[in-house]
């Protein structure tokens, strides 16, 4: 992560840091896959909102994503968590649709099967954890 106002200086600093990291990885017999790596660019400057930095890894320019995912959390430039919340809502709806499908009106699974499915799909865990985190964010 680098902070500053000169974009070219920031790019140069990041590329130097990535090269040092790459050298360390090579010394320890590790390899980073540039095709699975992405760069994220966050700024409050509206003129640079669509800017795509030229960050390279192993001679490949990394793809710049507006909403990269880091440890399962979707980052967004506005720091509002809206993209991540949208992703969680979509996941929860898919899981609940499975329950709706197998519970049917005229036919369907018994209560124990529905309960097991609910727990295995972890809808409650997903939404309970999210509620705790986002409740603190909204305060």
pTM over 0.85: no
DSSP state of 29: T
- Hey, CA dihedral for 105, 107, 109, 110, is it positive or negative? positive
Q: At what angle do helices 111-121 and 123-138 cross, to 10 degrees?
A: 50
State pLDDT tens for residues 53-64. 899 998 899 999
What is the band of 23 on the pLDDT scale with cuts at 50, 70, 90?
Answer: very high
- Joined tokens for residue 75: 């980052």
CB 87 within 8 A of CB 81: no
Q: Are 41 and 53 spatial neighbours (Cβ–Cβ below 8 Å)?
A: yes
Q: What is the pLDDT of residue 118?
A: 76
The pLDDT tens digits of the residues spanning 46-97 come to 888 888 889 999 889 999 998 898 888 888 877 777 888 888 888 888 888 8
Q: What is the pLDDT of residue 1?
A: 64
Distance between CA atoms of residues 76 and 67, nearest Å: 5
């Amino acid at each position: 992560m680098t902070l500053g106002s000169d974009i070219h200086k920031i790019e140069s600093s990041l590329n130097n840091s990535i090269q040092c990291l790459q050298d360390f990885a090579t010394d320890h017999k590790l390899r980073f896959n540039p095709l699975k790596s992405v760069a994220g660019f966050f700024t409050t400057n509206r003129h640079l909102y669509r800017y795509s930095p030229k960050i390279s890894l192993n001679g490949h320019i990394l793809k710049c994503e507006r909403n990269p995912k880091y440890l399962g959390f979707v980052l967004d430039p506005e720091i509002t968590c809206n993209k991540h919340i949208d992703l969680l809502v979509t996941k929860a709806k898919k899981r609940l649709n499975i329950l709706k499908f197998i519970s049917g009106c005229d036919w369907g699974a018994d209560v124990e099967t529905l309960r097991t499915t609910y727990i295995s799909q972890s809808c409650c865990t997903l939404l309970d954890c999210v509620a705790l985190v986002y409740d603190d964010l909204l305060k």
